[in-house]
Structure 1
Amino acid sequence: MNSIISGYLNHQPVPTDRKQNALTKRFIVPVLTDMQDMLMGLRRELDPGLARQYPFNKNIPYPVGRCEEITTAVRQHLLKRIAAPTTRAERALHAFRRQGGLIRPVWGALRERYFQNATQIGSLYVDVANDTVNITKPKVEIIPMTESGLEAIRNISHFCDIAKLYWKAEIYANLAAPSLAPLLPMIVLNKVSEPKLLSACPYMTALALHNHFRDAESWLETAPAMDVKAQATLLERVPMDLRPPAGADPRELAIDACREARREKRYLDPEWKQARLKDLARINSARQETGEEVSMA
C-alpha cells in the first residue's frame, strides 16, 4: 500500500467533506443503532479469542492497553461482513462503500492527551475499543469526527508531547542504531519497560517518508541523548552491524543517515523502508526472547 492515499497519509484522519457528510446521512444515520449493535456483537464474538492471545498488558488484564489489536480485529471482520452483507446494517455499509463512502483506519492524538486507534466511517469516528483505558466505559463509541478530538500528529515534537503525557515516558535521540534514524529517530523510555526505538506505526513511518526525513534530521540535531547506562540495555540488543562504530559521533551518524536517505530518495523506495523495519525486528526479537512486551498502544 502506498504511503500517500488520495493526498492523505496512512491512518491519517481525513477531514469530512460534503460528499462524506451526504453519504453518511443517507446510508449510515438510518441504521446507526443497528451498526452499533453489530459492532458490540463483534466485540462479544472476538473478545474471548483476543483475551487468550493478549491476556495481559504490563500485568493488567485484557482489554486494557489493547486498543490497536481490538480495533484491527473488529475492522477486519466488519469488512468481511460488508463484502457479503446479510443484515440491514451490513447492506447499508455495503451500499455506502460502493458509492464512495470512506471506511479506513485512523490514528492520531486524541484531545492532545492520548494516542488513539479508531475507524473513520464517512463523517463518523468509530471507536470499538473504548474500554481499553477505562474498562467501565462502553465498548463501542460512535460520534461525529468533528466532535471526537482526534487529530493527526503534526511532527516528531508533537509525538513526543503526547508520549510524555500518555506513556509517562521520556523521548531521546536514536543514537544506538543511527542508520535507522531516518525512519526511527526516537528512543522511548519509561518506568515499566526497557528502551525501544520509535516509531514503526504506519502513520509515523508515512510521515517520515512524506517530509523526506527533514523532520527527523532537524529533531535529531537538538534532541536529548539517553544516559549511557540506560542506553546500554538497548545496545545489548542492537546487532553489531547497526551499532555506531567505536570513536564515531552517533549523533552525526544519525543526522548524516537522514541526509543520505534524502539524497538517495529513499522516501520513494519501499524496499529500503522494509529493510529498516526488518532491522528493527532484529532488535525487538531479542526483547521477545526475554519475554518483554514489544508493542505499545
Structure 2
Amino acid sequence: MDSVKPCLPQEIAPVDAAQAALTAQCLGPWSNQLMAYFLTLRAETDAALAPRFPWAGGKAYPYGRCEEITQDLYARLAQRLARPSDPVTQALHDFVAQGGIVRSIWGVLREQYFQNALQFGGLYVDVSNDTVFVTKPQVEILPINECGLVAVRDLAHFRQTAERYWHATVYANHLAPTLAPLLPVITVSPGKLQPGLQSACDYMIDLMRRDAFVQAEAWLREGPVPPPELQLPDLPADLRAWTTDTRQEAVLACQRARAAGCQHDANWRSARVMDYLRSVGASKTGAGGTP
C-alpha cells in the first residue's frame, strides 16, 4: 500500500470519522450562530485593514486582500480562543481542546482563482469571500467536502490558474537563479500585479521541496524565457544572474540544491525566503487571492 503523504502547509487536512464527529458534536449546535460570529470578527478586521490597504489592482478594499484579511482574522480568533468569553468562542475552544483541526488553508477555488480560508474540522470557513467579487457575501461557511477548494496539484495547475485569474503571462525564473528552486515562476499581469516571482506562499514553497525541485527544474529548462525588457527592479544585485546563460544558471541551482539535500534543510529554506523578502521589501504580494 502506498504511504499517505503528510499535508503541506495550508493544505486541507483530511476529515476522518473522528474529526467529522467532533465537528458535529462541538460546532453543530452552534451552526446558526457561526455566521454572525465570523461576521463580527470580519468587521473588526475591516476596521483595522481598510485604512492600511485602500487599493489593490486599482480597486478599493477589500478587493484582492484575501490573504491579509484571513491572516488578521485568524490572529484575532486566536486571541479570543485564549480567553473564551462567550458561548461560541467556548464551543470553538472546546473543539480545539478535544483535538479538532483548525488551520489556515489555501488553494484553487472552483478552478477559478487562488483563495485563502480557514478549516475547522469538517467545516470550510471563508472569511474573505468578497475579495474577488466584492458583491458576494463577506463570509461563506460550507462542509469542507462541498467547498470546491483544491490543493494546487503542480506547477502546471498553478500556471493555469495564474493565467485565468490574474490574466498573467508566465515565464521561467531566469532572473533570480538562486531563488529558482523554490520560486521558479515569474508572472506579469498588467493592471493586476507587478511583475514578480511566484509563489512565495508556504504551500508552493514546500510543494517545490517535496519532489526535490524536479518539477521546478523541468519548468526552468523548458519554460518561456523572460523577455530582455522584463526586469525585477527591487532585486538585489547578489540575487541576479551572473552569467549570460541564465537558463542554465537556474537549472544548475536546482541540481545543486538537490545534491546538497536542501529540500530537507529548513535553514536553507528560511534563508531563501529572507532573500525573497529582500527582493520585494514592503511591496510584497503573494499568490493567496491577491489580484
Counterpart contact for 2:188–2:196, Cα < 8 Å: yes
The size of the alignment, in residue pairs, is 283
In structure 2, what is the equivalent of residue 271 of structure 1? 267
1:295 shift after superposition? 4.4
How does the TM-score come out when normalised to structure 1? 0.91
- Which ranges of structure 1 fall in alignment gaps of 5 or more residues? 1-5
1:272 alignment partner, SS class: helix
1:148 shift after superposition? 0.6
In structure 2, what is the equivalent of residue 83 of structure 1? 82
1:47 shift after superposition? 1.0
Alignment of 1:23-102 (within 5 A): 23-102=22-101
Larger relative helix fraction: 1
- Which ranges of structure 2 fall in alignment gaps of 5 or more residues? none
- For the residues of structure 2 that align with 1:102 and 1:294, how far apart are their CA atoms? 28
In structure 2, what is the equivalent of residue 200 of structure 1? 200
Would the alpha carbon gap of residues 223 and 112 (structure 1) be closer, same or farther in structure 2, given more than 3 Å must change? same
1:101-130 CA distance string (max 9 Å, x none): 000000001111110100000111100111
- For the residues of structure 1 that align with 2:238 and 2:139, how far apart are their CA atoms? 46
**Runs of 4+ displaced beyond 6 Å:** none
1:179-227 CA distance string (max 9 Å, x none): 1110111101011243111111011011112221111012222111121
- For the residues of structure 1 that align with 2:174 and 2:168, how far apart are their CA atoms? 17
In structure 2, what is the equivalent of residue 209 of structure 1? 209
2:80 alignment partner, SS class: helix
- For the residues of structure 1 that align with 2:238 and 2:20, how far apart are their CA atoms? 51
In structure 1, what is the equivalent of residue 115 of structure 2? 116
1:113-150 CA distance string (max 9 Å, x none): 11010000011110011111222221111001111111
How does the TM-score come out when normalised to structure 2? 0.93
- For the residues of structure 2 that align with 1:238 and 1:66, how far apart are their CA atoms? 24
In structure 2, what is the equivalent of residue 280 of structure 1? 276
Alignment of 1:242-281 (within 5 A): 242-247=239-244, 249-281=245-277
Q: 1:219 aligned to 2:219?
A: yes
Amino acid at match of 1:81: R
- For the residues of structure 1 that align with 2:131 and 2:181, how far apart are their CA atoms? 32
Q: CA RMSD in A?
A: 1.6
Identity rate, percent: 42
2:51 alignment partner, SS class: helix
Amino acid at match of 2:197: L
In structure 2, what is the equivalent of residue 20 of structure 1? 19
In structure 1, what is the equivalent of residue 238 of structure 2? 241
1:241 shift after superposition? 2.1
Structure of greater relative contact order (alpha carbons < 8 Å, 6+ residues apart): 2
